[in-house]
Homo-oligomer: A and B are copies of this chain.
Amino acid sequence: MPHTYTYPRPALTVDIVVFGFDEGDLKVLLIQRGCEPFAGRWALPGGFVHLDETLEQAAERELSEEAGLRDVFLEQLYTFGALDRDPRERVVTVAYYALVKMSGHHLQASTDARAAAWHAVHALPSLAFDHAGILETALIRLKGKVRYQPIGFELLPAKFTLTQLQHLYEVILGRALDKRNFRKKILSMDLLVETAEVEQGVAHRAARLYRFDERKYRRLTERGFSFEI
């Protein structure tokens, strides 16, 4: 690393792909832009990195400011640095992806009064900048990671049925899973604890609710256990 600091600098932003899961569909949180460029177009939440905050803090701040989301699963995705990704000037963006329990978070009106809304991943509008590419990268990451890390639970309510969990995996992985084999496998990992409750308000036999046991997972991981679907 040179010792001079005289180069002109690219601008640095963070953008966040926020995933949710609802009504059997994978969703992404988008914000409608109020000004040029791409005024009126949908975009990922994000903004400039301040000098007194880390990248992750910048992402958390933007999530909080633009959508009222706090305390969600957040992980760095990739850094995008194409020369023309912003038509005005050189902007490098560090992309994150977040997983939120949609049932537990209500979207707040964004601080600066721009519209924030959930969109089904399979029915997206045209996006601003290179955000379609960022989203695509996030989907690939999610699809890969969900198989060997227990992050799927971040998208479900704290208590969920095995069928909900299976549907989640089916949507993310894009293929059907065998019900018996899925249950056998997930229960054999000993990561879920059965609650005393069952789902409410269904017109058929009510399914038992389970909870993901984070402590158990950590203990197993330390002993060399590795999650895999």
Contacts and interface: CB of A to CB of B under 8 A. Distances in A.
Interface residues of A, number: 39
Nearest to A31: B1
Interface stretch (A75-83, A155-163, A166-174): A75-83
A35 B48 CA distance: 31
A50 interface: yes
At the interface, is chain A mostly helix, strand, loop or mixed?
loop
A203 B76 CA distance: 50
A68 interface: no
Contacts of A9: 9-12, 51
Contacts of A81: 49, 54-56, 94
A135 to B, nearest CB: 15
A192 to B, nearest CB: 26
A33 to B, nearest CB: 8
Count copies of this chain in the complex. Answer: 2
A29 interface: no
A89 B5 contact: yes
B35 A13 contact: no
A3 to B, nearest CB: 5
A211 interface: no
A88 interface: yes
Given A52-B83, A54-B81, A11 B5 contact: yes
A20 interface: no
Contacts of A94: 79, 81, 92
25 contacts: A1-B15, A1-B33, A1-B46, A1-B47, A1-B48, A1-B129, A2-B47, A2-B48, A5-B11, A5-B89, A7-B11, A7-B50, A8-B51, A9-B12, A9-B51, A12-B12, A52-B83, A53-B83, A54-B83, A55-B79, A55-B81, A55-B92, A76-B79, A79-B94, A81-B94
